[in-house]
Amino acid sequence: MGIVAGLDSSPDFTRIVVCDADTGAVLKQGYAAHPVEGGGRASDVDPQAWLLSLGEAAGGGLLEGVQAIGVSSQQNAVVPLDAQGNTVRPAMVGGDKRAQVAAADLVDALGGREAWAQAVGCVPQAPQPVTKLRWLNKTEPDAALRTAVLLQAHDWLVWQLLGRPVRRTTDRGGASGTGYWSAATGAYRADLVELALGHQAMLPEVIGPSDAAGTTPEGLLISAGTGETMAAAFGLGIGLGDAVVSLGASGSVMAVHPEALVDNSGMITSLADATGMHLPVVTTLNAVRTLRGAAEMLGLGDLESLSELAMKSTPGSHGLVLLPYLEGERTPNLPHTAGTLSGLRRESMKPEHLARAAFEGMLCGLADALDVLRGRGVEVRRVFLLGAAAELSAVQAAAPALFGAQVVVPQPADYAAIGAARQAAWALGVSQGTLDPRTPPMWQGPAAQVLEPGEELAVGQAVRQQYVSVREQTYPGAFR
């Protein structure tokens, strides 16, 4: 078929991969940091910065011979435009803490968490576009009044690449994270835009996973684009039976499912993926921050040292159990709690047992999140483990048995950019009549370590039960 490119515009940089359209083999790469005023990441960003880093990353003829481009970009960024297509104010990006009060306002305005879950499959959080619109309406009413068009970061980049046409598009994946589009119905809730912004605004057309957003004057096909989470899932090649556990400061668990899940408790965020399926997501507030806290408490300089120390202990940490709710917790919904260390006995009061309890507590918290999905009928046969902490020996030793599934640790790569390139290859193939619009191109999967629970499964389940007993004793009915 030829050569395609995937462009990932993250919060800090633009990464471009150029791939063989048939196999997915990465042929060339480009990278450039976003130019940032004032030297640090801000909640408000001029979207021109994304274009500047895109141009720099594509320098040196990187895109010569490329026939199609896919765009992945940071989620939760919203770009408000006026009726002429100019930005009303800088894009509102990231986990914008300014909008926390606006999130609570929105939840109350529609009648509570259940009403939002039923409407769009998620409960408003501070980072979401719908919440940022409420904040804009309340704090910058003039800017809100001038806002006529709403785009997300990948929508805006696609629109710019196509020369700012009259038609503006998005995809299911990106739309499902806005808080005003429902993955269950496949439709916008314009009334929720009005509830947040104070008036209606034009929203981009949601096109199919294999559709093209358009063609540049030079004949370059631009695919639909999608959010970073959906692009990374597509780049990893996950399908039914697969879950992805991401180990950042906080954690997230997502899985592929054939239908949207409506969860009245608000623990599941019902996103759409980049293939026509669904991506239910459950987040925890405490993942690697649990390990960093334990390392500091034990006077260790890095997580590798904590991992080595933990490996000197044994499964179950001699009865020590850490409930890792250091920042409160979303799963279960315990926003005002603190962490709990249980099972202190003279023989368990050793550094290696505390180190092991930190790893087991973090992983058991993520296993709780996996069980929220399993409890709703989501099949989990293997778990992709992402993040730098996935390389730690203590994580790899405990995760398969605690998750009760095969664990795959992919080699580090730009999976969001690769997913965007795969989407470009799909749209190109459909346009040429060589690919089915319902079946994405089969690319080779990532190089990875594969870890089996094996004989450790029973031991892992005993450790898990020890954790669940302490959680139920401390917070009875937290998951009811």
User: 460-472: per-residue pLDDT in tens?
Assistant: 999 999 999 999 9
Q: Which pLDDT score is estimated for 362? A: 98
Share of the chain above pLDDT 90, in %: 94
Asked if the model's pLDDT at residue 164 lies above 80, the reply is: yes
Q: Which residues contact 236 (CB under 8 A, 6 or more apart)?
A: 244, 384, 410, 415, 419, 445, 446
Buried b (16+ CB within 10 A) or exposed e, 405-442: bbbbbbeeebbbbbbbbbbbbbbbbbbeeebeeeebbe
CB 287 within 8 A of CB 374: no
Q: Which pLDDT score is estimated for 198? A: 98
Q: How far apart are CA 399 and CA 454, in angstroms?
A: 12
DSSP letters spanning 233-268: HHHHT--TEEEEEEESSSEEEEE-BSS----TTS-E
Q: How far apart are CA 387 and CA 391, in angstroms?
A: 8
Count Cα atoms within 13 angstroms, Cβ side, for 187. 5
Pairing of strands 251-255, 241-247: antiparallel
Q: How confident is the model at residue 1 (pLDDT cuts 50, 70, 90)?
A: low
Average pLDDT of the residues in 180-205: 97
Q: Which pLDDT score is estimated for 264? A: 84
Q: Which pLDDT score is estimated for 223? A: 98
Q: How far from chain centre, in Å, is Cα 32?
A: 22
Q: Which residues contact 456 (CB under 8 A, 6 or more apart)?
A: 315, 400, 401
Nearest to 183 by CA among 192, 191, 170, 174: 174
Q: How confident is the model at residue 268 (pLDDT cuts 50, 70, 90)?
A: very high
Other CB atoms within a 10 A radius of the CB of residue 352 amount to 18
Q: How far apart are CA 201 and CA 335, in angstroms?
A: 33
Share of the chain above pLDDT 70, in %: 99
Q: How far apart are CA 128 and CA 59, in angstroms?
A: 33
Q: Which pLDDT score is estimated for 458? A: 97
CB 148 within 8 A of CB 199: no
- Residue 50, phi then psi, degrees to nearest 5: -65, -40
Could you report the per-residue pLDDT of 168-185, keeping only the tens digit for each? 999 999 999 999 999 999
Could you report the per-residue pLDDT of 283-331, keeping only the tens digit for each? 999 999 999 999 999 999 999 999 999 999 999 999 999 999 999 999 9
Looking up tokens 């633009």 gives: 14
Average pLDDT of the residues in 404-422: 97
Q: Which pLDDT score is estimated for 41? A: 57
- DSSP assignment, residue 411? P
Q: Which pLDDT score is estimated for 95? A: 77
Q: How confident is the model at residue 381 (pLDDT cuts 50, 70, 90)?
A: very high
Mean model confidence pLDDT for the chain:
96
Q: How far apart are CA 79 and CA 174, in angstroms?
A: 13
Rounded to 10 deg, the angle between the 100-110 and 113-120 helix axes is 80
Q: How confident is the model at residue 266 (pLDDT cuts 50, 70, 90)?
A: confident
Residue 384 tokens, joined: 């992709």
- Structural element, H or E, at residue 144: helix 141-146
Q: Which pLDDT score is estimated for 97? A: 80
**How many degrees, rounded to 5, is the angle at CA 13 between CA 10 and CA 19?**
80
Average pLDDT of the residues in 95-104: 88
- DSSP assignment, residue 73? E
- Structural element, H or E, at residue 308: helix 303-310
Could you report the per-residue pLDDT of 220-240, keeping only the tens digit for each? 999 999 999 999 999 999 999
Q: What single letter denotes the amino acid at residue 78?
A: V
Q: Which pLDDT score is estimated for 38? A: 58
Asked if the model's pLDDT at residue 367 lies above 90, the reply is: yes
Q: Which pLDDT score is estimated for 338? A: 97
CB 194 within 8 A of CB 44: no
Nearest to 233 by CA among 207, 272, 286: 272
Please tell me the least confidently modeled range out of 98-102, 301-305, 389-393. 98-102
Count Cα atoms within 13 angstroms, Cβ side, for 418. 21
β-sheet with 448-451: strand ranges across = 268-272, 278-284, 251-255, 241-247, 380-386, 406-410, 448-451
Q: How far from chain centre, in Å, is Cα 462?
A: 31
Q: How far from chain centre, in Å, is Cα 228?
A: 7
Provide the whole-model pTM.
0.94
- Residue 154, phi then psi, degrees to nearest 5: -70, -30
